[in-house]
A and B are shown apart, each in its own frame.
Chain A
Amino acid sequence: MIIGLSLPAHAVEEITGLIIMQAVDDNQRATNDSSFTRLKLSSCKFGVNKGRIACAESPRVKVLESVAVNYGASLKDTKSVSITIEPASERGIGMLTYSYDQEDRDNQTWLYLSALGRVKRIAGGDSEGDTEPASLFGSEFTTEDTDTGKLTEYQVNLLEETTRSKRAVWKIEMIPNQARAKKSRYSRTVHYIDKTRYVALRSEMYDKYGKEIKRSVASRVELVNDHWIARSVTMMNLVSNRLSNMALIKIYTDLDINDDFLTQRTLTDTAYREATLKQLRAQLD
């Protein structure tokens, strides 16, 4: 049976937006379990030619390798480490993140700048939780766009069942509650969820004035380790006319990853990091 491709039995008759988004969220999280990914982030100014959206300039490319493991009873906590491979000026920048499903527990992030040889724990400071969403590696994606969980902080409405990119989709609207709205750049997000694959094919983000400011489009939806995922997601910033494409150029799950790898040592100890990554790559072969 393919996990995530069917809804819980009790919900089948009474399908709601929240249930659908929960399934999408679970599906997305499942791909993180003991995974090793090679991620390519391409950013550029975009234009349109003959009805096709394309980069109008040579894209800026960043390549990262990321290792993630899910923990906890329901595998809803995640530890991950990402190392920048390209460009040369940013090579070796590392980020270690422990994210927790529990709402009252703050995520933890450590950043390593290789040129300075320093690790710093990134802290929100006051615990008032009004930190603004940060950009993901300087791209058009923000932490808010890739967040999982926290669905209870939204009012989720199933707007309609329709088609998008020739596939049957649910059109779902997510409106943040007051607490969430303070941390969010979006007043409303509309997702088009593939009804059979539980992947957001398209998402539209609106600012507080109701104007669409960002749009993400999924391409290359593939089955990876029993989960459908979009291996290429493009986020378009409609205000600046820039886009970032996040491509999972390699993804492997269910790997044997040592817990020690997901510590600060991986950031600072290049020899250790490279040796471990070599072992991981060997598992793929």
Chain B
Amino acid sequence: MEKLLLSLTGMFAGAPSKVLRFRRSVLLVLALVSIVMFHAMATRTTFNLSSEAFMNEDSPAQLSLEEFRRQFGSDRSVYLIYRPLDGDVFSAASLSAVQSLTNDLENWGDLDNSGYPEADLRELIHIRRVQSLTNLRVQNSVGDALISERLVPIKLPTSQVELSEIKARALSEADYVSSFYAADGSYGALLLQTDFGTEAIDSYTSALDSDTVELDDSFGDFDISFDEQAVVQKIEFKDVNPLDYLAFNDALEAVYNQYADQLEYYAVGEPSLMSQLQGILEQLKLLGYLMVLIFALLLWILFRSASALLWPLVTIALSVSWCWGITVLLGIELSSMIGLTVLLIFSVGIADCVHVMSAYFSFRRGGLDHHAALTKSYEKVGLSILLTTLTTAAGIMVLASSNLEPIRVFAVMCAFGVVLAFFFTIVLLPILLDFWHPTAVTEKGSTADKLGLRWQRLSNKVKVIMGLISAALVFVSLGLLIGAFINAVILLTYWIVNSQTKILARVPLIVERSPRRIMAIFAAILILCCYGATKIVIDTNVAGLFKDDHPLAIALNVVDNNMSGSQNMEVMIDTGTTDGILDAQLLIAVDNLQTSLEERYPDTIGRTYSLANIVKDTNQIMNDEDPDFYVIPNSNQSVAQLLYLFNSANPEDRRNLVSDDYSRSHISVNSKSMGSYGYQKMFIEVEQEITAKFASFKTTYPDLEIVLTGTMATLMVVSDEIAKSQFNGFALALLLISLIMIITLGSLRGGLMGMIPNAIPAFLAIGLMGLFGIPLDTDTLLIAPVILGIAVDDTIHFMTHYRIELTKSKSVSIALESAIREVGQAVLFTTMIIGLGFAVLSFSDYLGMAKVGFFGSLSIFVALLCDLFLIPAMIIVFKPTFGVTNVDTQIDFKGVNA
């Protein structure tokens, strides 16, 4: 192994001169391929940003959801809650505003778009039905008449008496309370059914459009036969692009904001949620730019060279574009994971370049000429870069075992991108550095150097004043939070730039003084994190994805506290038998299930609704409103006839509740926001209850199937599945990386020792989240292997350098001191750049990303502390020799430094 490592080191040392020899050909090939890749990126990129892109199309949950939509229509509705500013949903002014709004949304085609310059009202074409207090109908039995009338007449009454009557009548309609208005009349709601998810794909044409298709001759007879061979055209549904949601939401907002002087709105439902997420993506884009800016500025300040800023960015940009280009050339659709993919390639690529640049810089300032410095740099870091590439790629590739397509694509793209970053660092960076490279001390200083010198010449007073002015400017332009962050970054950078040598020189002395105490501190942290990890709850909650003051979090809160709940799930009942749903006993069981669910989860389930409600309601109406008849009649014939009445009156509503052959129906359950953990638990309990209540029907209906479905519920279940599989993946990644470390370091003890400094940052995020009761969600878990991959890089650089130096010097002290000094600077710089870059994400309104940013950056900084303090402490205590013989294990840094 040692021989192999040494030969690899030699190979990397020779790499720059080899590529420089063929620089023209190399550049030509890279330029040509890059053009192809850029072209592919521009022309072949297709995104599938739909949330359901994450769902496995063949999963039972997704299949039943598809079937549900095919049967009962889209479940992607907008639930628009409003709070009248006069505090009363039933006031004349509120009713008038809601009536006008309902009318505008129903007849948006009549609106003049010029009155809504910021929106394209044609997007409202997705609205299929609008229901509000002002167009709801109620059936009443008055004398011998069955009256179907509006709850609120079209001509709105103005007298207080009439308005009070409307209110009293509305509040007596149990099925509408909490759905369309709160029981205290303080909030109301519009329900907008859309066709999202049930739109036929563009290429769909009805088989009936063909001129050659004719009715079968049997229709001329009076006895219609049926043809088993007749193919029922199955409509393939279009994937919903979140941008469609955004455009729809913009148009919707433009219309309802016309009444903003009377109504305050809170919109929930998938179209609103997804368009809010688009807004978050826009914010993330801004934060992404800020991140790149911080990367660039730090590179420039730390290396004091513009070439040190430009070349890493070019190298990484090419890695990203090749990876992206090849992916789209293979015809693979990109998902919302692309942001994280770019971030990871960027971070690993930056680390590769920084290590090369840091070494190069060090050799140049040590007096070597450009070519010698280049050779020495690659000799020093080439092997480490290869190893970090392998470990990161292996860690990420674990995710490729996921059964979710976007995560698989993410894993393969990241692993490939990391390999490309390595390739460009070896092949392209030497050529770029040959064109333009950082200056040595003896040469003419760079602009950054000159600026630095000027700054040094200023008096302390002027420095403080200028510092305060610039800090104030940052606060004014970026706000308190981000301003404070940027100022902290500036201060930290200032301190590192000016004191890095001192810091790194002091580290061995601190460690030498009390290595066991340092180990004890880190051991305590690790134990605490492990304890915290046992407390972690894997839970994804839509309401918890946003900060408390985010409009969507407020909206979800309002709906949960005042209406029947912001989430919806469906219990789909398929009897497998025509007219099965007309079975009175089955409907009684459905009714019992509803009652039982409402009683069992009074704080979670706000409302249940099914055909049973219709039958009971119609039965009472047909029996002169006698409350004793608010029951399911025992006879099948009575049920059939009551539903006959309902079907005749409103076939569309009937079709929303029960299939045309009365074999399938569903129970809609509105529930308050809850995490996937809670949902999962509830689902299991509900399923047990279903089994208990419907088991006896299996004899009559052998094909009876009852499943839980619905967009939000399915999403929750899938989130939970993702979370669990990623948690296992993370453990596997840890194992894989340990194996690579053990093999490359040629020592079990060394490998395991190297893993402890990685385990601490990796467990830190999970441990802290567990300790503070923050649930681990899909976003946080996806980043866990990424953090591990990044954290392990610096350890590998440190350990590899230590081992090579140990082989050369045969002295633990010399090898360790050299590792701290030589690798320390690069580790310090990469930590600064990546850690602070990640920290920018903490400002995202999307807590999923904010948590990734905060905990990611924290882990990266803790990894730095592990590399600088824990590894040396362990080396001092355990004195590993990695198979190198005749090693002087005596520790004496004072002597070394001298």
A contact set with B: CB distance below 8 Å: 40, 42-49, 51-60, 88-90, 93, 111, 113-116, 118-126, 128, 130-132, 134-138, 142, 208-209, 215, 217, 219-220, 232, 234, 236, 238, 240-242, 245, 247, 249
In the complex, are the beta carbons of B651 and A238 less than 8 A apart? no
In the complex, are the beta carbons of B226 and A59 less than 8 A apart? yes
In the complex, are the beta carbons of A121 and B154 less than 8 A apart? no
Return the contact of A125 from the options B147, B206, B216 (Cβ within 8 A).
B147
| A-side contacts of B141, CB under 8 Å | 120
Stretch at the interface among B26-34, B538-546, B548-556, B642-650: B642-650
| B-side contacts of A42, CB under 8 Å | 224
Q: Which residue of A lies closest to B229 (CB)?
A: A49
In the complex, are the beta carbons of A247 and B233 less than 8 A apart? no
| A-side contacts of B465, CB under 8 Å | none
Query: How far is it, in angstroms, between the C-alpha of A89 and the C-alpha of B633 when the chains are bound?
Result: 14
Q: How far is the CB of B244 from chain A (nearest CB, A)?
A: 16
| B699 part of interface (Cβ distance < 8 Å) | no
Stretch at the interface among B207-215, B344-352, B879-887: B207-215
Q: B199-243 interface mask toward A, CB cutoff 8 Å, 1 = contact, 0 = none?
A: 000000011101011111111101011111111110000000000
In the complex, are the beta carbons of A54 and B226 less than 8 A apart? yes
Q: How far is the CB of B128 from chain A (nearest CB, A)?
A: 10
Query: How far is it, in angstroms, between the C-alpha of A56 and the C-alpha of B226 when the chains are bound?
Result: 6
A and B contact pairs by CB, cutoff 8 A, 15 listed:
A47-B230, A52-B213, A55-B226, A56-B228, A59-B224, A60-B661, A111-B645, A113-B642, A116-B641, A120-B141, A122-B145, A132-B650, A134-B650, A135-B648, A219-B219
Query: How far is it, in angstroms, between the C-alpha of A157 and the C-alpha of B148 when the chains are bound?
Result: 35
Q: B143-182 interface mask toward A, CB cutoff 8 Å, 1 = contact, 0 = none?
A: 0111111100111000000000000000000000000000
Query: How far is it, in angstroms, between the C-alpha of A47 and the C-alpha of B231 when the chains are bound?
Result: 5
| A-side contacts of B648, CB under 8 Å | 111, 134-138
Given A51-B210, A52-B217, A128-B150, 9 further pairs, Cβ under 8 A:
A48-B233, A52-B213, A54-B226, A54-B230, A113-B641, A115-B633, A134-B650, A135-B648, A220-B220
| B578 part of interface (Cβ distance < 8 Å) | yes
| A-side contacts of B650, CB under 8 Å | 132, 134-135
Q: How far is the CB of B162 from chain A (nearest CB, A)?
A: 13
* Interface range, B side: 35 or more
Smallest CB-CB A-B distances: 9 pairs: A125-B149, A47-B230, A89-B640, A135-B651, A55-B226, A54-B227, A120-B146, A47-B232, A54-B216
Q: How far is the CB of A137 from chain B (nearest CB, A)?
A: 7
In the complex, are the beta carbons of A90 and B644 less than 8 A apart? yes
Query: How far is it, in angstroms, between the C-alpha of A124 and the C-alpha of B207 when the chains are bound?
Result: 38
Query: How far is it, in angstroms, between the C-alpha of A241 and the C-alpha of B207 when the chains are bound?
Result: 10
In the complex, are the beta carbons of B644 and A123 less than 8 A apart? no
| B43 part of interface (Cβ distance < 8 Å) | no
Q: Which of A89, A131, A219 has the most CB of B within 10 A?
A: A89
Known: A121-B144, A124-B148. A53 touches B213 (CB 8 A): yes
In the complex, are the beta carbons of B655 and A123 less than 8 A apart? no
| B-side contacts of A137, CB under 8 Å | 644, 648
Return the contact of A53 from the options B144, B208, B222, B641 (Cβ within 8 A).
B208
Q: Which residue of B lies closest to A61 (CB)?
A: B224
Query: How far is it, in angstroms, between the C-alpha of A219 and the C-alpha of B224 when the chains are bound?
Result: 13
Q: How far is the CB of B64 from chain A (nearest CB, A)?
A: 19
| B582 part of interface (Cβ distance < 8 Å) | yes
In the complex, are the beta carbons of B660 and A119 less than 8 A apart? no
Query: How far is it, in angstroms, between the C-alpha of A156 and the C-alpha of B573 when the chains are bound?
Result: 46
Query: How far is it, in angstroms, between the C-alpha of A42 and the C-alpha of B225 when the chains are bound?
Result: 10
Q: Which residue of A lies closest to B212 (CB)?
A: A51
Query: How far is it, in angstroms, between the C-alpha of A236 and the C-alpha of B216 when the chains are bound?
Result: 13
Query: How far is it, in angstroms, between the C-alpha of A240 and the C-alpha of B72 when the chains are bound?
Result: 10
In the complex, are the beta carbons of A52 and B216 less than 8 A apart? yes
Query: How far is it, in angstroms, between the C-alpha of A263 and the C-alpha of B315 when the chains are bound?
Result: 90
| B490 part of interface (Cβ distance < 8 Å) | no
In the complex, are the beta carbons of B641 and A232 less than 8 A apart? no
In the complex, are the beta carbons of A238 and B208 less than 8 A apart? yes
Q: How far is the CB of B580 from chain A (nearest CB, A)?
A: 13
Q: How far is the CB of B458 from chain A (nearest CB, A)?
A: 70
| A-side contacts of B227, CB under 8 Å | 47, 49, 52, 54-56
In the complex, are the beta carbons of B109 and A232 less than 8 A apart? no
| B604 part of interface (Cβ distance < 8 Å) | no
In the complex, are the beta carbons of B230 and A49 less than 8 A apart? yes
| A-side contacts of B579, CB under 8 Å | 89
| B638 part of interface (Cβ distance < 8 Å) | yes
Q: Which residue of A lies closest to B148 (CB)?
A: A125
In the complex, are the beta carbons of A60 and B637 less than 8 A apart? no
In the complex, are the beta carbons of A44 and B226 less than 8 A apart? yes
Query: How far is it, in angstroms, between the C-alpha of A116 and the C-alpha of B661 when the chains are bound?
Result: 23
Q: How far is the CB of A90 from chain B (nearest CB, A)?
A: 6
Q: How far is the CB of A152 from chain B (nearest CB, A)?
A: 23
Known: A90-B641, A120-B145. A245 touches B219 (CB 8 A): yes
| B635 part of interface (Cβ distance < 8 Å) | yes
| B-side contacts of A136, CB under 8 Å | 648
Q: How far is the CB of B636 from chain A (nearest CB, A)?
A: 6
In the complex, are the beta carbons of B207 and A126 less than 8 A apart? no
In the complex, are the beta carbons of B109 and A113 less than 8 A apart? no
Query: How far is it, in angstroms, between the C-alpha of A170 and the C-alpha of B659 when the chains are bound?
Result: 37
In the complex, are the beta carbons of B213 and A135 less than 8 A apart? no
Query: How far is it, in angstroms, between the C-alpha of A253 and the C-alpha of B207 when the chains are bound?
Result: 39
Q: How far is the CB of B275 from chain A (nearest CB, A)?
A: 22
Return the contact of A51 from the options B213, B220, B655 (Cβ within 8 A).
B213
| B-side contacts of A249, CB under 8 Å | 222
| B247 part of interface (Cβ distance < 8 Å) | no
Query: How far is it, in angstroms, between the C-alpha of A107 and the C-alpha of B785 when the chains are bound?
Result: 71
In the complex, are the beta carbons of A121 and B655 less than 8 A apart? no
Q: B728-740 interface mask toward A, CB cutoff 8 Å, 1 = contact, 0 = none?
A: 0000000000000
Q: How far is the CB of A37 from chain B (nearest CB, A)?
A: 12
| B-side contacts of A142, CB under 8 Å | 651
Q: Which of B207, B644, B650, B660 has the most CB of A within 10 A?
A: B660
Known: A45-B660, A128-B153, A138-B648. A122 touches B231 (CB 8 A): no
In the complex, are the beta carbons of A115 and B215 less than 8 A apart? no
Return the contact of B215 from the options A114, A208, A217, A247 (Cβ within 8 A).
A217
Q: How far is the CB of B395 from chain A (nearest CB, A)?
A: 50
In the complex, are the beta carbons of A89 and B582 less than 8 A apart? yes
Query: How far is it, in angstroms, between the C-alpha of A224 and the C-alpha of B638 when the chains are bound?
Result: 38
Q: How far is the CB of B214 from chain A (nearest CB, A)?
A: 6
| B492 part of interface (Cβ distance < 8 Å) | no
Known: A49-B227, A53-B214. A114 touches B148 (CB 8 A): no
| B-side contacts of A128, CB under 8 Å | 150, 153-155
Known: A89-B582, A116-B622. A45 touches B147 (CB 8 A): no
In the complex, are the beta carbons of A53 and B642 less than 8 A apart? no
Q: How far is the CB of B197 from chain A (nearest CB, A)?
A: 15
Known: A48-B231, A128-B154. A138 touches B647 (CB 8 A): yes
Known: A115-B640, A209-B125. A48 touches B623 (CB 8 A): no
Q: How far is the CB of A185 from chain B (nearest CB, A)?
A: 9
Q: Which residue of A lies closest to B579 (CB)?
A: A89
Query: How far is it, in angstroms, between the C-alpha of A89 and the C-alpha of B638 when the chains are bound?
Result: 8
Q: How far is the CB of B63 from chain A (nearest CB, A)?
A: 20
| B-side contacts of A93, CB under 8 Å | 641, 644
| B-side contacts of A241, CB under 8 Å | 232-233
Q: How far is the CB of B42 from chain A (nearest CB, A)?
A: 34
Q: How far is the CB of A206 from chain B (nearest CB, A)?
A: 13
| A-side contacts of B214, CB under 8 Å | 51-53
In the complex, are the beta carbons of B224 and A245 less than 8 A apart? yes
Q: Which residue of B lies closest to A250 (CB)?
A: B222
Known: A54-B227, A113-B641, A116-B638. A47 touches B233 (CB 8 A): yes
Return the contact of B208 from the options A135, A215, A219 (Cβ within 8 A).
A215
In the complex, are the beta carbons of A242 and B216 less than 8 A apart? no
Return the contact of A120 from the options B109, B144, B216, B219 (Cβ within 8 A).
B144
Query: How far is it, in angstroms, between the C-alpha of A48 and the C-alpha of B206 when the chains are bound?
Result: 11
Q: Which residue of B lies closest to A125 (CB)?
A: B149
Q: How far is the CB of B645 from chain A (nearest CB, A)?
A: 7
| B-side contacts of A123, CB under 8 Å | 145-148
